[in-house]
Amino acid sequence: MVSPSHFAAFAALVFVMVVVPGPSVLFTVSRALTVGRRDALITVLGNAAGVYAQVVAVAFGMGAIVRTSATVFTVIKLAGAAYLVYLGVQAVRHRRKLSEALASAVPATRGRTLTVLRDGFVVGFANPKSIVFLAAVLPQFVDDAAGSVPVQIMLLGIALPAIAVFSDSAWALVAGTARAWFARSPRRLELIGGTGGLVMIGLGAGLALNGRKD
C-alpha cells in the first residue's frame, strides 16, 4: 500500500506543477472561449481521464519506453500537436457560428458529450510532457519493499488528474464567464472564437517544435 507521507509528498509536487499556468490551462481556457463553459468542463474531465491513462501506462512500463525511446516520444508528441492544431483550425473555421449556437440553445446530446470527452482524452493522453514527468518522478515515491509496484503507481497517480480537475475547472469557469460578456456582441464572439482557435494552433505548433524531453 501507499504510505500517507509518500502520497502527500507527491500530491504537493503535483499541486505546484498543476497550478502554474501551462499548456493544459491555455487549452482549457481556449475551449471555454470557443465552445463554452459546459463543454470546457467536460473537456477537463476527458483530459483528466487521458492523463490517468498515462499513469496506468507508466505503471505497466510504457513510461520507461517513452523516456528512453526518442521515436516513441516523437510519435506521441506529434500526435498530440496535430490534434491540437485540428481543434484550433475547427474553432477558427466555425467562429462565425458561435453566436448562432448560443442563440439556438441546442440541448446537449450524448453524442456531443462523448465527442467533447474524446477531445479532452486525446489531448490529455498525447501530452508527452506529463507522461515524461510521470515516468521520471512518480516511481521515486514508490516503496519497492511494500510490493505491488503497479498498484502503488496507480494509487499515487490519482493525485494528478484529481488536482488538475479542480484547477482546470476553475480556469474554465473564469473563461466561461468572460465568454458570456463577449456573447453580447456577435463581432466580439467571432473575435474570441478565432483567437481561441489560434491559441490552440499555437499550442500544437509549439508542442511539435519542442524537442526536449523535460
Percent of the chain past pLDDT 90, that is, above it, reads 14
The predicted structure's pLDDT at residue 187: 64
Pick the closest to residue 17 from 164, 138, 122, 142 (CA basis).
164
Q: Compute, in degrees rounded to 10, the torsion defined by CA atoms 169, 173, 175, 176.
A: 130
pLDDT in tens, 134-188: 877 787 788 877 778 888 889 999 999 999 999 889 888 887 777 766 656 556 5
**Residue 174 CB contacts under 8 Å (≥ 6 apart), including other chains:** 29, 32
Q: How far apart are CA 13 and CA 46, in angstroms?
A: 22
pLDDT over 90 (residue 214): no
Could you tell me how far CA 196 lies from the centroid of its own chain? Answer: 15
pLDDT over 50 (residue 105): no
The predicted structure's pLDDT at residue 189: 58
pLDDT over 70 (residue 211): no
Average pLDDT (115-119) is 89
The predicted structure's pLDDT at residue 178: 72
pLDDT over 60 (residue 210): yes
Average pLDDT (11-17) is 82
Average pLDDT (75-96) is 71
Mean pLDDT of the chain: 76
Note the pTM of the prediction, 2 decimals.
Answer: 0.71
pLDDT over 50 (residue 102): no
Cα(first)–Cα(last) distance of the chain, in Å?
A: 29
Domain residue extents for the chain: 23-209
The predicted structure's pLDDT at residue 183: 59
Confidence label for 103 from pLDDT (cuts 50, 70 and 90):
very low
pLDDT in tens, 31-77: 887 777 888 899 999 999 999 998 998 888 765 666 566 676 677 77
pLDDT over 70 (residue 98): no
Dihedral sign, CA of 143, 144, 145, 147?
positive
Q: How far apart are CA 47 and CA 121, in angstroms?
A: 5
Average pLDDT (97-114) is 57
